[in-house]
Amino acid sequence: MIISLTLLLGYLSSSLKTAKEEMESTSDEAESKLVSSLHTTLKHGRFPAFIRDKLDYFRTNSSILAVYRRRLHEAEEKITALTSQYKVLNHEREDNAQKRQEMSKAFEEQMNELIAKHKAQVKEMQDKSNLVAKNMDKLLKDHISLKQVREQIANQVKENEAKMELQENTNGVLAKRLHLAEKSRAEILKKLEEFEGRYAENMARFQRKYKNQEMTYQAKLAEQEAKFEAKYSEQQKLFDIQIKEKKDLYENKHQKQESTFESRFKDQQVNFDERYNKQKQVFDAKYKEQHEMFDKKCKQQEATFNAAFKAQEITFENKVSEQKAKFDAKFRQQEVHFAARLQNEKHKCEELKERNDALADRLKYTEAALLKSRQVKVNQEYEFTDTVSSLVPKEAFLTVQEQCQLYKKTVSVLAATVLILLGIVFVGWRFLFN
């Protein structure tokens, strides 16, 4: 529309300038001829016939020429008004292009903000997974400390066995040491049971916490994906609606301006044709030849104008199609980019899930190892009790009261045997000496 207006204005201004130049040239030629004829009349003292004809011609057509020049001036003013209108339309077009760039820039900023939020949430989830890994390392350290405690218990048992072997000579000391060993053994077993209970509680608490974290992470991830997709679809719809509204407004404005310009141009064309027909009847045969030449020039200029207009229209359509293709390519590129980002996030989630599965397997292996080590410990305790019972007599395992009762029984038995022997000796002595 704007290009066609510029071409039409250029065509009108060029045609008016050529008409004005032709009129000025004809008037200058007539004035020069008039001056030369007056010079000859003054020189010879008479007026020739062509000067009289020219004077009559200027006398009759001077008012018509003045009117024609005034109308040319009015047409030039209208052309200037149309050029100012074209400048206003061009300025509006530039404003619309700037607004469109601002809208696209705002849309890109919103998408970048959404991507940054999504990255921050993913980073938070990764930090939580690192915390879970740290907890697992802590549990492994606890397991290592449990092994160390078991080794200390085994060393203490060996030391106690060595001490028991060294102090087998005295039953009282051995019984006292055995009592202390049993007491320390009971304390150690109690501490071991407390440690195993704390370990089981910590393991159950960690499993519950890990399951809760995994459930919250999956729920948050699903919510974030749903929110991201909803925001992306809403913004895309709003952007399409805004583009459609701008396009409709621009097309309506373009159609209105084109219709008003065509109506004005038709009115001006009709007025110009009427004036031209009136002036054509007034001018003589000489002017008809000039008018025919002017018509030929007008046809040539119209042909050039139509060719230029068609070429400009084709270039404008090509530019519009290129811009549309660029916009579609950019939109598709962004869509592919966001799809790739979403795929990467899903891949990261799968990696985290695999890592969590590996941690669960590791926990299972540690639990199995702990159960196995506990079974080994119980077997070692049974072996220890068997060896102690085989090496130490049964009296060593008796308490102090039981040992006192045993000593009383032995003393009473010995006293009874001594009394019986004394009685037998006394009776034999009496029997022999009597």
For residues 284 and 101, the model is more confident at 101
Is residue 47 over pLDDT 60?
A: no
State pLDDT tens for residues 213-248.
777 767 777 787 777 777 767 877 777 777 778 777
Task: Please give the Cα distance from 218 to 224 (Å, whole number).
Answer: 10
The Cα-based distances of 298 to 76, 197, 291, 303 in angstroms read: 18, 109, 10, 9
Residue 171 pLDDT > 60, yes or no?
A: no
For residue 257, how far is the Cα from the chain centroid?
A: 43
Looking at every residue in the chain, the average pLDDT score rounds to: 69
Residue 357: the pLDDT is 76
pLDDT single digits (tens) 82-98: 777 777 777 777 777 78
Contact 55, 61 (CB under 8 A): no
pLDDT in tens, 339-376: 777 787 778 768 877 876 777 777 777 777 767 776 77
Q: Which element (helix H / strand E) includes 333?
A: helix 285-391
The per-residue pLDDT for 398 is 53
Give the model's pLDDT for residue 282: 67
Residue 173 CB: number of other CB atoms within 10 A? 11
Q: What's the token pair of residue 243?
A: 């583009």
pLDDT > 70? residue 267: yes
Two tokens at 402? 């039981």
pLDDT at position 45: 45
Contacts of the segment 111-118: beta carbons below 8 A, 24+ positions apart? 111/232, 111/235, 111/334, 111/338, 114/228, 114/231, 114/232, 115/341, 118/224, 118/228, 118/341, 118/345
Measured CA to CA, the distance from residue 355 to residue 352 in angstroms comes to 5
Paired tokens of 326: 């660029």
Q: Do 7 and 315 form a contact (C-beta atoms < 8 A)?
A: no
In 3D, which of 252, 239, 194 has the Cα closest to residue 330? 239
Q: What is the 3-state secondary structure (H, E, C) of 79-109?
A: HHHHHHHHHHHHHHHHHHHHHHHHHHHHHHH
Rounded CA-CA distance 334/304 in Å is 45
Determine the Cα–Cα distance for residues 19 and 262; give it in Å rounded to an integer. 23
E strand residue ranges, 207-346? none
Query: Which range has the top average pLDDT, 261-265, 320-324, 377-381, 400-404?
Result: 320-324
Q: Are 400 and 175 in contact (CB under 8 A)?
A: yes
Task: Report the percentage of the chain scoring pLDDT > 70.
Answer: 51
Question: In the block, which residue shows the tokens 């109506």?
Answer: 263
pLDDT higher than threshold 60 for residue 49: no
- The sign of the CA dihedral 83, 298, 20, 74 is negative
Q: Nearest 5°: CA angle at 110, between 106 and 111?
A: 120
Encoded tokens for 241: 């609606």
Residue 1 reports pLDDT greater than 50: no
Going from the C-alpha of 110 to that of each of 106, 231, 232, 272, the distances in angstroms are 6, 10, 10, 57
Residue 54 has pLDDT above 60, yes or no: no
Q: What is the pLDDT of residue 42?
A: 45
Q: What is the pLDDT of residues 373-415, one digit of tens each?
A: 767 766 766 665 666 555 545 555 555 566 667 767 777 787 7
In the chain, where are the structural domains located? 2-397, 402-434
Query: Cα separation of 368 and 371, whole Å?
Result: 5
Residue scoring higher pLDDT (375 or 56): 375
Distances 384 to 173, 191, 243 between C-alpha atoms, Å:
20, 19, 88
- Comparing 10-14, 39-43, 210-214, the range with the smallest average pLDDT is 39-43
User: By the 8 A CB rule, do 86 and 6 touch?
Assistant: yes
Average pLDDT over residues 136-153: 68
Can you tell me the mean pLDDT for 332-340? 75
Q: What is the pLDDT of residues 107-132, one digit of tens each?
A: 677 667 766 776 777 677 677 667 76
| Secondary structure (3-state) at 45 | coil
Cα separation of 428 and 420, whole Å?
12
**Torsion angle of alpha carbons 420, 422, 423, 429, nearest 10°?**
150
Q: Is the pLDDT of residue 191 over 80?
A: no
Q: How much is the pLDDT for 361?
A: 78
Write down the residue that tokens 């002036």 correspond to: 279
On the 0-12 / 13-18 / 19+ scale of CB atoms within 10 A, 178 is: buried
